[in-house]
Structure 1
């Protein structure tokens, strides 16, 4: 769990820093693109207004941020199309590698398409990209073009440099965050370890007084006989013992995030675990259905997988309606990410409208009053609400015992344990309600 928390911490921090880095990177590249476009358009208008020639007035160029050296290296041309449809190249600067015929043909093609295109745009001549501006006067139509390949190359270079800087900085940040993450979440780790230690130690400490209470109660029964109050005391001791065992088991389960997974016959595991509940289900007047496809293997830990099935089937039996149906079905998964698809379902007419997204939360109970039935003649509340399916006991022995009791309450731990086991198996567990039936789905 600690490793998962560290990974989540680093990922969230990486996403945050990535967003922060994307904004200036995108702004820088957009500003460069806009500035290059503005400069090219300004030069084209300047050349067009000067009869197709870049002005030689240095002061005018300097006002636009253009140096004399820059002006000598610009590659541009100006073409005039007369009223008689003749094309004349009035200016050609630093374009010796392109023939006049190529320029004239390209300019004429652009001018003829002017009725369906904008007066500004780009075209390709001799493999070079040119930005052009077209205007008309009494002499005819003038088209001024400027080679923008140097700007495109510069823009591409800036973009590549930005990407390298972005990903390089992001990777460096992830590396540093990974190194420092343990220090950053140290308070959480210490608190988490203290909680687990407290649960384990408190569990062991509580077992002693519970054992004494149980022994004293049994002694009292030997002297005075069994009474309503002694039966109630024994029931509560049994409940507390079961709760402590589950809390300790859950704490130990979370201490082994690197559980050794091996190939197991999940079909056999489901068959053995589910079959042990058949007699208790039928004894309660319910229908038991078990369908297991043979020879389905998964990567899991054998004892934990067996306990997983115990928890789900016991939960289904515990909260199944009277004369309802408990069903267990195992088949091969249709999802390529998993090998097995397990469904454990039970009839539950009152399940409509429940918030099933909270069923796997620790100590979750649907009824706010947390009331429960009492066995052995203890009094119960007439206004007691029916709780939603919560959790099963942690062991198959406790499951069988619990199912035989009239009380159907749980502690809100079993399903949380089941979820932890499935996560350790790198699987997924979900719950849904359909046609008066609660269905728990496990994919491994």
Structure 2
């Protein structure tokens, strides 16, 4: 349990940092790309207003100081741009390529014709692995098209993004490494509290068994002297109930420690049949119907003792809460893909339509609050919690479902790499 908690602590902490890094890097990248595109649009606007020429004087308005990047005549010289002016009367085109070297005048004319066919005032065009932003301005008898190589601005934005991603990955790796190294120290109080709780349960269980043994012995002596009475019978029932409850507590504490559980390849079919035979008479004596369907030769990796205990818990729970004269069905079979073994225990439960079945696995949870502790078939609310812990230790899953007045507990455990002895099913009633 502590190991699982530590892993969850590391995973959630790392995911939280990852979310923060993604948010920060994403925000910086978005702002950087936004400013880059804003810079491209501003330069195109300046060049378009001056028919593709650098203005002789830069005098931004007060509003532009806050809304747009600021440029000077010197700063504009760093950009690569060109323009073309088409005379509408004689269809002659004048090209300005003073600030570009990689595009010839003939290519500029082709790009201009290509842009004019789009009938758009602005946009982007891809040419020779370079993206050029353009802006079209209609003058009385002329059409001016200005092109700007935006790779310089966008490359800066990409560098910021790559640098942010790199720093984020390095920070995440360093954080995770430190977290793994010091996580045990961080959760040490929880480890100590968990250890004290287990020790308390175990020690208290042993201490409580002594007075219960004395009470049981005194009750038996009283029965020998005065005969059995309702008082002595009730006392023995409560002593038996407390003894069983203490054993549950001790078993649960030991189960969480996991030192005595030895996982090995076991014959799940054989153990299931053994448990079924032990419970069959008990269920029938209670006036209920019992059926089983067990595929022979199914092998799983589990602890034999705890697997026996798992099936016993499920059958005991089904017998307790099955409707009078209802049906209990035990099934062990292969999954659809033949990689897993499915164990299911189903019982009639007409009153279970509106019940939250996931809470069944909570310790001490009982749906019917009106039941008294003197009721013969009452439980402790611990068995299914133990079943869930056992299944987790086996590396499997347990879930519950309700359909047609019947509740089912379905366990999925990975099948061991063993050949089946037979593919037939055995059914008994």
**With structure 2 as the length reference, what TM-score do the two structures score?**
0.90
Select 2:83's aligned residue among 78, 96, 110: 78
Secondary structure in 2 matching 1:349: coil
Does 1:291 find its partner at 2:296?
Answer: no
Q: Indicate conservation of the 8 Å contact 1:77/1:89, yes or no.
A: no
Deviates most, 14-23 or 98-107: 14-23
**2:381 corresponds to 1:412:** yes
Equivalent position of 2:101 in the other structure? 96
Map 1:339-378 onto structure 2 (within 5 A). Answer: 339-374=340-375
SS, match of residue 398 in structure 2? strand
Note if contact 1:330-1:341 (Cα within 8 Å) is conserved in structure 2: yes
Q: Match for residue 23 of structure 1?
A: 23
Partner secondary structure for residue 298 of structure 1? strand
* Offset at residue 430 of structure 1 (A): 0.9
How far did 1:67 drift? Answer: 5.5
* Aligned equivalents of 2:321, 2:253: Cα separation in 1: 26
Distance 1:241 1:249 in 2: 12
| 1:56 positional shift | 4.2
Partner of 1:143: 145
Q: Which has the larger displacement, 348-357 or 229-238?
A: 348-357
Aligned ranges 1:249-264 → 2 under 5 Å? 249-256=251-258, 259-264=261-266
Deviation per CA, 1:214-256: give whole Å up to 9, x if none.
0000000000000000000000000000000111011000001
Which residue of 111, 114, 119 corresponds with 1:106? 111
The alpha-carbon distance between structure 1 residues 274 and 26, as it changes in their structure 2 partners (threshold 3 A), is same
TM-score (norm: length of structure 1): 0.87
Specify the SS of the correspondent of 1:264: strand
Match of 2:52 in 1: 52
Report the Cα offset of residue 119 of structure 1: 1.6
CA contact (8 A) 2:400 2:410 kept: yes
Conserved in 2, the CA contact under 8 Å of 1:261 and 1:425? yes
Is 1:434 equivalent to 2:403 in the alignment? yes
Structure 1 residues 279 and 93, CA gap change in structure 2 (3 angstroms):
farther
CA displacement, residues 81-105 of structure 1 (integer Å, 9 cap, x when unaligned): 2214735243113422222222211
Choose from 393, 397, 404 the match for 1:424.
393
Residue aligning to 1:206: 208
Partners of 2:411 and 2:365 lie apart in 1 by 20
**Compared with structure 1, are the counterparts of its residues 321 and 370 closer, same or farther at alpha carbon in structure 2 (3 Å cutoff)?**
closer
- Measure the CA separation in 2 of the matches of 1:53 and 1:319: 89
**Equivalent in the alignment of 1:133:** 135
CA–CA distance in 2 between the matches of 1:67 and 1:260? Answer: 78
Q: Deviations over 1:339-385 (max 9, x none)?
A: 111110111222221221110001111233451445xxxxxxxxxxx
Q: Do the aligned residues in 2 keep the contact of 1:297 with 1:339 (CA within 8 Å)?
A: no
Q: Deviations 1:97-152 (Å, cap 9, x if unpaired)?
A: 222222211211111111xxx42211012221101111101132111010112223
Judged with a 3 Å threshold, the aligned counterparts in structure 2 of structure 1 residues 333 and 256 are, in CA distance, closer, same or farther, namely same
| Residue-by-residue CA offset, 1:24-53 (whole Å, 9 max, x unaligned) | 211211111111111111111111111211
SS of residue paired to 1:352: coil
* Cα distance between partner residues in 2 of 1:143 and 1:87: 14
Paired with 2:268 and 2:232, the residues of 1 have a C-alpha distance of 43
Residue pair 1:135, 1:143 contacting (<8 A) in 2 also: yes
Q: How big is the shift at 1:69?
A: 5.5
CA contact (8 A) 2:288 2:324 kept: yes
**Is the 8 Å Cα contact of residues 356 and 432 (structure 1) preserved in structure 2?**
yes
- Shift of residue 175 of structure 1? 1.7
Secondary structure of residue in 2 paired with 1:350: coil
Instruction: State the SS of the aligned residue for 2:218.
Output: helix
- CA distance in structure 2 between the aligned counterparts of 1:302 and 1:159, rounded to whole angstroms: 56
* 5+ residue gaps, structure 2: 414-429
Give the whole-Å Cα distance in 2 for the aligned partners of 1:309 and 1:96: 82
Q: Is the 8 A contact 1:103 1:125 kept in 2?
A: no
Whole-angstrom distance in 1 between the partners of 2:264 and 2:178: 35
SS in 1 for 2:165: helix
What are the equivalent positions in structure 2 for 1:308-347 lying under 5 Å apart? 308-334=310-336, 339-347=340-348
